[in-house]
Amino acid sequence: MLDRATHEALERLIAAGLIAPVSRASRPLHPVAETLSPLSAAELARAKAHRDLAGRKLKMARLLTDGEMADEARGPLLDAAHAVSRALAVESRLPEPVALEDALLPPLAAVWGVTITILQNFVNQPAADGVVLLQALESWLKVIPTEIDCPF
């Protein structure tokens, strides 16, 4: 078993004629990277609708948080997180989570990256500060896939 750097080094040595390739068998451990087709117009529209809903819920949560009503901002923040998770699922071609708790499970949890920890803490701790989650969700809404280049 070789890592990529070692394999590339061996390929360079073979190309230079310093060593000869001899192998009885080989198989890739990871599937070959496949190029996903662009999102369809319907998928883009569904993801945009989820993102728009999340944006409205985040505005509501921001107003409540700025007005020192953090407890009241919890509901809109959870709704926004659910809407963002549904958008991420559509954009990643994964099943849309029925409930926010479903977004905390694989495979969608992997799409969240480091934000999953913030989201889990907020969901599991009713007294958690929502400002960090609010900022994280706002940053997710800034990443917008296009029909040409989907980052997910």
Supply the CATH classification number for the domain 41-142. Answer: 1.20.120
Q: Residue 111 is encoded by which pair of tokens?
A: 């799409």
Low-confidence ranges of the chain (pLDDT < 70): 1, 24-36, 144-152
Report pLDDT for 16: 83
Domain boundaries, the chain: 41-142
pLDDT digits (tens, 9 = 90+) for 62-86: 999 999 898 899 999 999 999 999 9
Write the secondary structure of the chain as one string of H (helix), E (strand) and C (coil): CCCHHHHHHHHHHHHCCCCCCCCCCCCCCCCCCCCCCCCCHHHHHHHHHHHHHHHHHHHHHHHHHHCCCHHHHHHHHHHHHHHHHHHHHHHHCCCCCCCHHHHCCCCHHHHHCCHHHHHHHHHHCCCCCCHHHHHHHHHHHHCCCCCCCCCC
Report pLDDT for 27: 66
